[in-house]
Amino acid sequence: MTSNAPIGIFDSGLGGISVAKEIHTLMPSENLIFYGDSANAPYGVRSTEDVQALSMRIADDFIARGAKAIVIACNTATSAAAQLMRSTYDIPIIGMEPALKLACDLGGGKPQHVIVTATELTLREKKFAALMHRFSATHTIEKQPCPALVDIIENGQFEDAEVVNKTLRGYLDAYDLDSVNSIVLGCTHFTYYRDYFRALVPQHVRIVDGNEGTARHVRDVLAERDELASNNNEGTIILLNSSDDPRMMELSNYFWSL
Ligand code: DGL
Q: What is the mean pLDDT of each run of 10 residues along the chain (258 residues)?
A: 94 98 98 98 97 98 98 98 98 98 96 98 97 96 98 98 98 97 98 98 98 98 98 96 96 98
Q: Which numbered atom of ligand 1 lies nearest the CA of 43?
A: 9
Q: Is the separation of the CB atoms in 193 and 23 below 8 Å?
A: no
Ligand 1 site-directed mutation target among 11, 121, 193, 243, most atoms within 8 Å of CB: 11
Choosing from 58, 74, 115, 180, the catalytic residue is 74
Whether 187 lines ligand 1, by a CB cut-off of 6 Å, is yes
At 1 the pLDDT is 81
Mean pLDDT over the full length of the chain: 97
Whether 181 lines ligand 1, by a CB cut-off of 6 Å, is no
Residue whose CA is at the smallest distance from ligand 1 atom 2: 74
Q: Which numbered atom of ligand 1 lies nearest the CA of 96?
A: 4
Bridge-based pairing state of the strands 113-118 and 93-94 = unpaired
Q: In what order do the strands lie in the sheet with 140-145?
A: 140-145, 113-118, 182-185, 206-208
At 188 the pLDDT is 98
Task: Give the distance from CA 228 to its chain's centroid.
Answer: 22
Whether 41 lines ligand 1, by a CB cut-off of 6 Å, is yes
- Is residue 187 part of the annotated active site? The answer reads yes
pLDDT (tens digit per residue) in 197-227: 999 999 999 999 999 999 999 999 999 999 9
Residue 141 CA to residue 114 CA, distance in Å, equals: 5
pLDDT (tens digit per residue) in 74-118: 999 999 999 999 999 999 999 999 999 999 999 999 999 999 999
- Is residue 146 part of the annotated active site? The answer reads no
Task: Write out the chain in H/E/C secondary structure.
Answer: CCCCCCEEEEECCCCCHHHHHHHHHHCCCCCEEEEECHHHCCCCCCCHHHHHHHHHHHHHHHHHCCCCEEEECCHHHHHHHHHHHHHHCCCCEECCCCCHHHHHHCCCCCCCEEEEEECHHHHHCHHHHHHHHHHCCCCEEEEEECHHHHHHHHCCCCCCHHHHHHHHHHHHCCCCHHHCCEEEECCCCHHHHHHHHHHHCCCCCEEECCHHHHHHHHHHHHHHCCCCCCCCCCCCEEEEECCCCHHHHHHHHHHHHC
Q: Please, which residues bridge with residue 40 across strands?
A: none
